[in-house]
Amino acid sequence: MTALIGHSAIVLALLAAVVGIVAPILGARGQRERYFEITFVAILGQFLFVTLAALALVYGLIATDFSIRYVAFNTTRATPIYYRITGLWGALEGSLLLWEWILIIFSGLVAWIYRDRHKELMPWVLLVFSIVSAFFLGVIAFASNPFETISPVPPDGRGLNPLLEDANMMTHPPLLYTGFVGLTVPFAFAIAALIVGKLDEAWIVTTRRWTITAWFFLTAGNLVGAWWSYHVLGWGGYWAWDPVENAAFMPWLPATAFLHSIQVQERRHMLKVWNLSLIMLAFSLTIFGTFLTRSGVLSSIHAFSSGPVGMIFLFFLGFVLLGSFGLLALRADLLKGQPELDSMVSRESAFLLNNIVLVSALFTIFLGTIFPLISEAVAGVQVSVGAPYFNSVTVPLFLFMVFLMGIGPIIAWRRASWDNLKRNFLWPAAASLVFGVALFFWKVREFWPILGFTLLAFVVATIIYDTALALRARKRIAGEGIVRGLITLTRRNQRRYGGLVVHLGVVLIILGIAASMTYSLEREATLDLKQSLNIGEYRIQFEGLKPSRQPTHQRIEGSFRVFHRGEDEGVLSPALKFFPTQQSPIGRAVHQSNYSEDIYLILSGFSDLSSNRATLKVLVRPLVVWMWIGGFVIFFGTLICICPMGKARSQED
């Protein structure tokens, strides 16, 4: 019954989507108002039916309705209710449904918010949403149906992939999907603007908050994914340049470039074709990412499964790329006659450089990701490209980006005079140089780390210095103190100060990455009871193994007492988990963080329980915790950018 309701709802939603595609086209020939109403209702219909289908699947999962194949494969009777719900996105079919659900929620919100505005654009915006939605619904209805039934009904299910039994299951996939789907909003407006031929800044101004929101979710989704990898996968790292990680990261690069370059268009009416291309690229990359995960074309630890879905996604990717860039090629005549750069030393050119850096990073990562395919097609040999390639090509690019992060927000528009440069950058540059020299004499001697830390200091110095100057002006004009002054400044220019806070968050993340990439320690040893291992300032003492029975699995825990500079810091218990349906054990690493470093323990093996002997791997990774703190800072900065605070509101809508 549940299966029938769910599947019918999907088919009905698909019909609604088809109506949503046809109506705007008919409306273009006349009776626009009436057809817009039909389109609007079609979006609403999709929203209701997809929500019904998603709830049906959630209900099936909670009620462990094993007559539904998807439920049988992704839950067991013993699965806690929390993981039954997250089972909605635990495998291919359900995750597509989640994607579609988020997409149609976004579409519904857009349709509702702008129902009385943008009369010309809106039918086409909703058309784009309906096309994307129809594609996903078609896949869900016919190629990858989560409501497929099995008979005979099994007595118990097979259970979720054990790696997915983690608290982050609640956050990482939905965040990432929200980021991906969120990019559909600016994409849809861009396509609508192209169709209508109304290529002024209206679509950009309207979608700015949506873009920032999508960007935030994309950032958060990637960060939480890194955090998950760090604390669940148990290899001590947070990023492996795996194809699917790259697929999640790649849309972030053009999206970030877009966020910056649209400011140039808003302010200076430049880069129109470029901005359209960036958002099309970003959206296409979200489809490309899904294609990679579902097709099994590249070898990855994340790949869900192969099957017909991969091919279907490739067709859709082709349709999106050819359709949107083809449309751009046809309309390019409307985009001529833009102003040119006045000077190479200006904010425009800093933003343009930042765009070039981000797109270059995108290109190198894309190349590295698909290189196994290229090499096999051209030379017949599959060559895999690993972290050394990605690190060596992206580190210089990202450091250059950090440098531009210091310049871009501060330098003057149009043409920066020598005085302007001296006033804004002399002190920050001097301060960061002093910092770099101090680092050198302290202990940092390698080229890349010292350059990186100096550049990060430069960004922070420019932000502090610029804000301090503005605060001094507030004090002079209105006699405001620091807190009051900060509030006034932020309210007057939310985008600027929100953006600067986001930059601080990015600085923290890069700080964590740079330090943990460069200065990690690692040791592995087999320990008898009460034996210990020394690493850095730590001593780890083995205190025995402990088996335990969990709802879904058996667990062997090793207890290790951690001493830091001789002081007892308590016991850490990494574990190996044995799932009856999986047979091979799954590691559960544990770590303890403080602001300066993480100590990270992995139980890599044990002898018989009786002899109490364990093999332990220990990592000490400096400053990792700042990556996660940076994520919260970005969240805070994003809120400053998008929350209505009264003053800045009139600029848009």
Partner 1 sequence: MEAQNTEPSTATENGGSIRRLIITLLIIGPVLALLAYGFTRDARYITSPLMAKPAVPFTITLFDGKKLSLDDLKGKTVFLNFWASWCPPCRAEARDLEAAWQKVKDQNMVFIGVALQDTDEASREFLKEFDVTYPNGKDESGKIAVEYGTWGIPESFFIDPQGRITYKHVGGIRASVVVAKINEAAKGIVSAQEGKGDYQPVR
Closer CB to partner 1, residue 299 or residue 343?
299
Q: Is residue 340 classed as helix, strand or coil in its secondary structure?
A: coil
| Strand spans (E) along 287-406 | none
Q: How far is the CB of 237 from partner 1 (least distance, A)?
A: 18
CB nearer to partner 1: pick between 40 and 291: 291
Residue 37 burial class via C-beta count within 10 angstroms: exposed 0-12, middle 13-18, buried 19 and up: middle
Choice between 322 and 529, CB closer to partner 1: 322
Instruction: Work out how close the CB of 561 gets to partner 1 at its nearest, in angstroms, rounded to a whole number.
Output: 24
Q: What angle do CA 134, 138, 140 make, to 5 degrees?
A: 115
- Cβ closer to partner 1: 328 or 341? 328
Q: Which C-beta is closer to partner 1: that of 190 or that of 298?
A: 298
Give strand ranges (E) for 355-505: none
User: What does the DSSP 8-state code read for residue 149?
Assistant: B
Which lies closer to partner 1 via its Cβ, residue 381 or residue 483? 381
Distance between CA 49 and CA 138 in Å, rounded? 14
Residue 290 Cβ vs partner 1, minimum distance, rounded to whole Å: 13
Minimum Å gap between C-beta 46 and partner 1 is 28
- Tell me the closest approach of the beta carbon of residue 248 to partner 1, in angstroms: 18
What secondary structure letter does DSSP report for 435? H
Structural contact between residues 259 and 218, judged by C-beta atoms closer than 8 angstroms = no
Q: What is the C-alpha to C-alpha distance for residues 323 and 134, in angstroms, rounded to an integer?
A: 16
505 or 587: CB nearest partner 1? 587
* Nearer of residues 384 and 596 to partner 1, judged by Cβ: 384
Least CB distance to partner 1 at residue 195 (A) = 13
**Residue 290 is encoded by which pair of tokens?**
């899904």
* Strands 613-622 and 554-564, bridge-based pairing: unpaired
Residues forming the site for partner 1 (CB under 8 A): 197-201, 269, 291, 295-299, 310-311, 314, 317-318, 321-322, 325-326, 328-330, 332-338, 370, 372-374, 376-377, 382, 384, 583-585, 604-605, 607, 615
> How many CA atoms does the CB half-sphere of 547 hold within 13 Å?
10
Nearest to 629 by CA among 518, 506, 495, 515: 506
Cβ at position 18, least distance to partner 1 in Å: 26
Asked if 491 contacts 645 with a C-beta cutoff of 8 angstroms, the reply is yes
Which DSSP symbol is given to 651?
G
**SS3 state of residue 184:** helix
Least Å distance between CB 329 and partner 1? Answer: 4
Distance CA 376, CA 380 (A): 4
User: Minimal distance in Å, beta carbon 297 to partner 1?
Assistant: 3
Residue type at 411 in one-letter notation: I
Rounded to a whole number of angstroms, the minimum distance from the CB of residue 589 to partner 1 is 17
Q: Please report how close the Cβ of residue 269 comes to partner 1 at its closest, in angstroms.
A: 7
Closest CA to 285 of 396, 386, 383, 363: 363
Q: Is 573 left (phi over 0), alpha (psi -120 to 50) or beta?
A: beta
DSSP state of 381: -
Residue 373 CB, nearest distance to partner 1 (Å)?
5
* Helix residue spans in 250-307 (DSSP H): 252-268, 272-295
**Closest CB to partner 1 among 18 and 334?**
334
Q: Where are the alpha helices (DSSP H) in 519-580?
A: none
Residue 563 or 578 having the CB closest to partner 1? 578
CB neighbours (10 Å) of residue 33? 9
Report yes or no: 247 and 369 within 8 Å, Cβ to Cβ: yes
Q: Which is nearer to partner 1, 419 or 608 (CB)?
A: 608
Transcribe 63-75 into DSSP letters. TT-TTBHHHHHH-
9 vs 303 by CB, closer to partner 1: 303
Helices H / strands E in the chain, number of each: 20, 10
Q: Look up tokens 């960036």; give the residue.
A: 278
- Closer by beta carbon to partner 1, 258 or else 579: 579
When the beta carbons of 129 and 316 are compared against partner 1, the nearer one is: 316
Least distance between partner 1 and beta carbon 301 (Å) = 9
Nearer to partner 1 by C-beta: 227 or 274? 274
417-452: b or e for each residue (b if 16 or more CB lie within 10 Å)? eeeebeebbebbbebbeebbeebeeeebeeeebbbb
Burial (0-12, 13-18, 19+ Cβ within 10 Å), 151: exposed
Cα 149 off chain centre by = 34
When the beta carbons of 315 and 632 are compared against partner 1, the nearer one is: 315
Nearest distance from C-beta of residue 396 to partner 1, angstroms: 25
Q: Do residues 642 and 213 make contact, with C-beta atoms less than 8 angstroms apart?
A: yes
Shortest separation between residue 206's beta carbon and partner 1, angstroms: 15
Q: What is the DSSP string of 119-133?
A: TTTHHHHHHHHHHHH
Minimum CB separation from partner 1 for residue 605, in Å? 5
* Cβ within 8 Å of residue 193, ≥6 positions away: 121, 199, 202, 203
